[in-house]
Structure 1
Amino acid sequence: MKRIWSLTACLTLCLAWSSLSTAAPTVLEIMEKMNDMENLGVDATAKVKITEQKPDEGVKVIEMVYYRRDRDDSYLIVMIAPDTDKGNGYLRVGDNMWMYRRNTRTFQIMNRNESIGGTDAKAGDMEKKKFTDLYEPVLDAQGKEILTEETLGKAQIPVYRFEVKAKVKDVDYPKQIYWVRKDNFLTMKTESYSLSGTLMESAYYPKYTTVEGKFIPQQFIIVDEFEKGNKSMVEISGITLQPINDDIFTKAYLENLSK
């Protein structure tokens, strides 16, 4: 799994309901809608379970508690399973990110594309998404955005399909293709490509849940297209949208958990 939405894949997508005009939106307008959907406007707490399956390594299960505060781009991840990782953590405040190791009680500066918990999840997957800051529309030979209207899956859900390319270097993939619902702009599927154009992974978002009017992915599946047979399932539960004490987003909080 090269990209977990975050929560971002990996934690949150919230739904901004609005009526659509008869004309199809541009790719940039769709991206801006996705930005709006992922801005919760409130603090969020959830439990995240990542189950990774690799033919040569078996099954690995990672569990964590995830705290997020959008107003200053902060988050905290506390590992709770397996026991070897319990107490380790990842902290972001503003533009600064640190990895904490319980056994040495030390912090290490990290970047957006570094691993979380030894998995293929990245630090950037956990932050509040700024889609239009990280990506821009791909243009065809005539200088037009690559945007089509299609249907997806057995239910034949109407979607917009569009392509984007990275504007910054510290993202997992320089090119991505999105399938986004036409009625509410929820992501249904993504494909991620290397600089050479090789398909590296596909991601599917079959389940969403609503919490206080926000739409949040409850489950999504990542398929490794490069190393066949590798796949991951991310499950999000126990979601609450309530204020979080400022002390949570501090190095001292992680250190106190180790005592």
Structure 2
Amino acid sequence: MADRTNTTRRLAVLLSAAILLTSAAATAVAQQKNDPRALAIAKNFEEKLNLEGLDITNTFNLVQKKPGEADRVLQIKVYRRDSANVFTLIFQYPPSEKGKGYYRNGDDLYLYLPTTREFVYRNRKDDVGSTDVRTDTFGRLDLEQQYWITSAGQEQVAKWTTDVIKLDARQLDVSFPIQKWYVRKSDGLPVKVENFSASGTLLRTIYYVDYSEVAPGKYLFTKLLAIDNLQPGQKTYITNENISTDPIPDYVFSKAYLEQVSR
């Protein structure tokens, strides 16, 4: 009888603890909110980098460097339509990667594997071609939907004075749970992004080296450097060329198109 009573008491204690933890977690979530100034900074650069009203075709060249290894070179053709939140990425080089591709429609992202002719569902954590760059680097930004956004002061990055905003994930499907964006005061464009684990470990650092104005007030990065902070000396350079704003046929934004061009 005593054992049964003790067991009941232990269960009651555990249940109470679980209720308290759940309540605390709910309270913490409820207390999270966006800082209006930080949110305005994010909205300003999203307005510049999101290319609604334009179709964009371009070619990215990625060069990944690892200490003691030969450079790894990838070439990817990108078709992008931000008004529909879609993009199609097709690997052009090397031959071992040619025909692979990504298709994103809203929050749904698929990797196409021509060797097996199958589409594999992926998420924003996917590294493009096993480089130091993730797929959401190439598409439309929607930071407020994914993160709580707060101010983190000002810092100097190279010759630029920047506003720093901190992003804490508000949903699971994000590329990194914590980010810091360094935004130039001179033109409101990001110059640096730091990506952290949930515990605060710095994982990767992105430098936006240069931009091209593809339409009045609309910008696309043309040079980017991604550094792996967990692997000393490992980094990926990206250059962007053959940028076009000509209309793209609707069928390009489909799984069928990836299957067609890989044959």
Relative to the length of structure 1, the TM-score reads 0.81
Question: Which moved further from structure 2: 198-207 or 116-125?
Answer: 116-125
CA shift, 1:121, in A, is 2.9
Distance 1:192 1:110 in 2: 20
Identify which of 214, 237, 240 aligns with 1:233.
Answer: 237
Distance 2:165 2:259 in 1: 44
Distance 2:92 2:197 in 1: 33
CA shift, 1:85, in A, is 0.8
Moved >6 Å (runs of 4+): none
Relative to the length of structure 2, the TM-score reads 0.80
CA shift, 1:172, in A, is 2.6
Distance 1:115 1:218 in 2: 19
Distance 1:166 1:222, change over 3 A: same
Structure with larger RCO (C-alpha < 8 A, sep 6+): 1
Partner residue, 2:207: 204
Structure 1: give runs of 5+ residues left out of the alignment: 1-24, 139-144
Identify which of 218, 221, 224 aligns with 2:225.
Answer: 221
Distance 2:105 2:195 in 1: 28
Distance 1:151 1:122, change over 3 A: closer
Could you list the per-position Cα deviations for residues 180-228 of structure 1 after superposition, in whole angstroms to 9, with x for gaps in the alignment? 1113211111222211211222221221222233322110111111111
Partner residue, 1:128: 140
Distance 1:203 1:131, change over 3 A: same
CA shift, 1:168, in A, is 1.6
CA shift, 1:66, in A, is 0.2
Distance 1:177 1:97, change over 3 A: closer
Distance 2:258 2:67 in 1: 34
Letter in 1 for 2:237: M
Partner residue, 2:165: 162
Structure 2: give runs of 5+ residues left out of the alignment: 1-35
Partner residue, 2:194: 191
Distance 1:209 1:258 in 2: 30
Q: Tell me the matched-pair count.
A: 226
2:73 is equivalent to residue 61 of structure 1: yes
Distance 1:57 1:171, change over 3 A: farther
Is the 8 Å Cα contact of residues 35 and 132 (structure 1) preserved in structure 2? no
Distance 1:152 1:114 in 2: 28
Partner residue, 2:84: 72
Identical pairs, percent: 31
For residues 71-110 of structure 1, the aligned pairs below 5 Å read 71-110=83-122
Could you list the per-position Cα deviations for residues 103-131 of structure 1 after superposition, in whole angstroms to 9, with x for gaps in the alignment? 22222222222232233433333331101
Q: Which has the larger radius of gyration?
A: 2
Instruction: Name the SS of the counterpart of 1:117 in structure 2.
Output: helix
Could you list the per-position Cα deviations for residues 147-176 of structure 1 after superposition, in whole angstroms to 9, with x for gaps in the alignment? x234331x3x22212222111212232212
Letter in 2 for 1:134: Q
